[in-house]
Structure 1
Amino acid sequence: MSEGYSDADLFSTGDIFARRELLRVGHVPDRDRIVGRDSEMRQVGAALGPATDGGPPRNLIIFGKTGTGKSLVSRHICRRARKHSQKSGINLRHVYVDCSDADTETRVARELVLQVRDELAPSMDVPVQGIGASEYYRYLWTLLDDVDVFVVILDEIDKLADDDVLMQLSRAEESGKTDAYVGVISISNKIEYREQLNERVNSSLQDRELTFHPYDAPQLEEILENRRDAFLDGVLHDDVIPKTAALAAREHGDARKAVDILFEAGSLAEERDDTEVTSQHVDDAQQRTEVKRFQDLVSGSTPHVKYILRALALLTLNSDDQQFSTSEIHRLYERLAENEGSDPLSHDRVYRLLKEQSFLGITESYHTGGGASKGAFLQHRLMKDPEIVIEALDTGKQDD
């Protein structure tokens, strides 16, 4: 069927975007595009300062909500430290690992080795499976023979099940495994992460803590203005960037969400063969990004968790109440599961799964007194728009 299209039509990129890469989540912008993080950049720079002269870097633990610039600043400063160190003849290397993907010690160790191997010894044969973390560390220490300083950024480090990676990295030089100074920048969305570390790791790290606060609306607007050239001239309506910034500011100052919405607004305009991006595209893009984020959040969940979330969303949508007891949710969940041909889980099991969703931030659970005749019981509230949840679950079901 594609024979009816010319190459120009088939591979047309439309009349909306000029530089899409500026709106990619993983894109690390130049210094003049980073907004509102001067103090944080100086503090990360101070931690890496000694490393640029061949000394040991300071370890950092960076806290902050999603989209506050933690990984962006860390990666930007590491790149600058690397360039600056070259002036002193120092071989400084850094790697970035997202622990939401590499969520075990073996996967992190493998990612470290593969990134360093690709830079320093592309011909080295490193198995991608069939060996454990200890073997990957042996490859890593060998690769670091000619490296003076090695900095590791561990993003979303709270997704790791234990502290073994930090123990290995923080004691590598002390234990004689490498002559390179090793520094670790740990990034977490959870302020309580530090409390979960065992005493040995805390002692080894001797780190500093740094908190990134949410962006406000003017900062978000400036961040988006600095990416205006992602679009062709004259494409964006004047109210698009202010509206996108206001929406993201309302959602805890999440710059990543702001950039996502702006990109999706442009993509929607492109899909619809529109020549301009309007505030209506922004509204529709927000809906799409919320659905996509929720799909990503529950993508690994079991069918029964999805039935439970659908039950809570339906209850919320069809009632003036926002909080529901485990029993109310369980009754509707039973009907949904049976309609899908599944045997429903017990009341107690649903109770535990609801508490797990509360831990993930999908729901909020709390005890209520219930009055003199009812006794105490747990109530649950959906933290997302029920229409978003239902659309995301419906879309995910079609994909399955």
Structure 2
Amino acid sequence: MGEEAQSSLDSIWESKDPIFADKELLDIEHIPDEDRIIGREDEISDLANGIHPAIRGGKPRNTLIYGKTGTGKSLVAKHVTRSAEAFAQEQGTRLQRAYIDCTQATTETQVVIKLARAFNDPDETDISVPLSGLSTNAYYDRLWRVLDARHDVVIIILDEVDKLQENNVLMQLSRAGEAGKLDTCKVGILAISNKISFKDSLDERVLSSLQEREFIFPPYDANQLREIMRHRKDAFHEGVLTDDAIPLAAAFAAQEHGDARKALDILRNAGELAKDDGDDLVREEHVRNAREKADVDRFSKLLQDQPTQSKAAVYALSLIADAKNDEEFATREIYERYEQLTERLDIDALSQRRLADRLNEQAFLDILGVTDRVGRGRGKGMTNFYYLLEDPGVVQTAIESDQRFSESE
């Protein structure tokens, strides 16, 4: 590397960020101090009361937590269980918590492996938990042995639990003590879902165990969103945010069902756009542009692990929605546009039935919406109609980040 290039790099490494003072405060995964958690005092207290017995080795109450995206469900669950874990240690109780994102661990075996590895210390237990190679029952056996060997109580957070492909893991975890799988360790489950209808899919025995308590987190209003961002504005250097930045970001997020995650994404993206522009202030135009970027980023994250055929199905729907005034479209109409798209993409077209399966998968993942209507033709059976949950332009921009789609236009 030449001296000039090295000097340029050195100047970058040595420079200070002109916009952000502590960018981590705007990360939705960041667990802030309690005084930064706004509008969830009752939920914190209620959840802590359910967990309270665990502090001294008792069984925590299983809880179902519902609420739309960005209403603080995961934040409160992580905050309360982290506090409980620390306080329990002071009391001499061996309490540990584990967090499972069920959008990443979707099968029973994946969940059990993650739990066993999270709770295990092989140097202490002499129990190995390989990433593959064992039956599900064998992984359960190692999990139970680990829990009895190392812990008095464990609290398991299953976030977006509705994304699990099957609910047997809930049965096993909620009834481990009763079934004689565990001798001493007690298990508490916090199951979090964006869908209140999730409980309808549960076995009655699981439901009776998990529904000892049930909380619904309401959306944040614009005032609460402003307070959430005001309590994190020290993520920016003093004086960087103009007076209208936070109110505008809060207003945008309030329109999206009071989504605090969206509010923080907008504010962080606005700061990044200001920095890219070489501006020393985060202005209204940065916030407006950041709103669209946040939509695209969120949708891109939803789609990032989806196969090309699934993206093609969603893309075809976006193209139809962009061209027509209707909001919902039948599988047959989407299929016609999909077939044209596959020719441009140079991929094999699925059958209409298999395309419908892909569309239903995307609806299950909250990438699309779906409604049932009584058919108007012969037979008058039920027909699925699909609709976008985002603006067509946002969907297309997100999918076109995949080079195959951008080159097909």
Calculate the TM-score normalised by the size of structure 1.
0.90
| Partner of residue 251, structure 1 | 256
- Structure 2's unaligned 5+ residue stretches are none
- Report how far residue 34 of structure 1 moved: 0.5
Q: What is aligned with 2:213? A: 208
Secondary structure (helix, strand or coil) at the match of 1:17 reads coil
Report what 1:387 is aligned to: 393
Q: Displacement, 1:189?
A: 1.0
Which residue does the alignment assign to 1:155?
Answer: 159
**What one-letter code is carried by the residue in structure 2 that aligns with 1:279?**
E
How do 1:300-319 and structure 2 match up within 5 A? Answer: 300-319=305-324
> AA paired with 1:53?
R
Q: Deviation of residue 107 (structure 1)?
A: 1.7
- In structure 2, what is the equivalent of residue 37 of structure 1? 40
**1:309-361 deviation per Cα after TM superposition (whole angstroms, max 9, x unaligned):** 22322222233443444443333222221122233333444444444444444
Counterparts of 2:363 and 2:23, CA distance in 1: 36
| Larger mean Cα displacement after TM superposition, 62-71 or 1-10 | 1-10
2:87 is aligned, of 50, 61, 84, to: 84
Whole-angstrom distance in 1 between the partners of 2:141 and 2:382:
55
Match for 1:51: what amino acid?
A: A
Query: What displacement does 1:120 show?
Result: 8.7
Partner of 2:403: 397
Structure 2 counterpart of 1:155, which letter? D
Alignment of structure 1 residues 1-400 onto 2, 5 Å: 2-10=5-13, 12-117=15-120, 121=124, 125-144=128-147, 145-174=149-178, 175-205=180-210, 207-361=212-366, 362-367=368-373, 379-397=385-403
Distance apart, 1:119 and its partner CA: 10
Q: Is the 8 A contact 1:59 1:207 kept in 2?
A: yes
Alpha-carbon displacement from aligned partner over 1:156-195 (angstroms, at most 9, x marks no partner): 1111122222222222223152401211111111111112
Change (3 A) 1:307 1:204: closer
Q: Structure 1 residues 384, 146: CA separation in 2 closer, same or farther (over 3 Å shift)?
A: closer
Deviation string 1:180-213 (CA, Å, 9 cap, x unpaired) is 1211111111111112111232344462111111
Structure 2: how far apart are the matches of 1:120 and 1:250? 51
Distance 1:224 1:338, change over 3 A: same
Whether the 8 Å contact between 1:36 and 1:219 is mirrored in structure 2 is yes
Q: Is the 8 A contact 2:345 2:404 kept in 1?
A: no
Alpha-carbon shift at residue 95 of structure 1 (Å): 1.3
Partners of 1:98 and 1:271 lie apart in 2 by: 32
Of stretches 330-339 and 225-234 in structure 1, the one that deviates more from structure 2 is 330-339
| Paired AA for residue 140 in structure 2 | Y
Task: Return the offset for 1:126.
Answer: 3.6
Deviation at 1:260, TM superposition (A): 1.2
Mapped partners of 1:199, 1:378: distance in 2: 29
Offset, 1:256: 0.9
The answer to whether the Cα contact below 8 Å between 2:163 and 2:365 also exists between their aligned partners in 1 is no
Letter in 2 for 1:270: K
8 Å contact kept, 1:368–1:379: no
Tell me if the contact between 2:63 and 2:215 (Cα under 8 Å) persists in the aligned partners.
Answer: yes
For the 8 Å contact 1:354–1:363, the answer to whether it is kept is no
SS at match of 1:63: strand
Distance 1:128 1:379, change over 3 A: closer
1:315 is aligned with what amino acid? I
Contact kept in structure 2, 1:355 and 1:365, CA below 8 Å? no
Shift of 1:399: 9.2
Choose 232-241 or 338-347, whichever is displaced more: 338-347
Deviation of the 1:153 alpha carbon: 0.9
Q: What is the Cα deviation at residue 275 of structure 1? A: 1.2
Offset of residue 124 of structure 1: 6.6
Deviations 1:203-242 (A, max 9, x none): 4446211111111111111011111000111111111111
SS of 1:275's equivalent in the other structure is: coil
Distance 1:176 1:366 in 2: 43
Output the CA distance in 1 between the equivalents of 2:101 and 2:123. 21
CA contact (8 A) 1:63 1:210 kept: yes
CA drift of 1:269 comes to 1.6
The one-letter amino acid paired with 2:159 is D
Tell me the SS of whatever aligns to 1:395: coil
Shift of 1:103: 1.5
Q: 2:255 and 2:212 mapped to 1: Cα distance?
A: 33
SS in 2 for 1:5: helix
Alignment TM-score, normalising by the size of structure 2: 0.88
What's the CA shift for 1:4? 4.4
Distance in structure 2 (CA, Å) of the matches to 1:104 and 1:132:
13
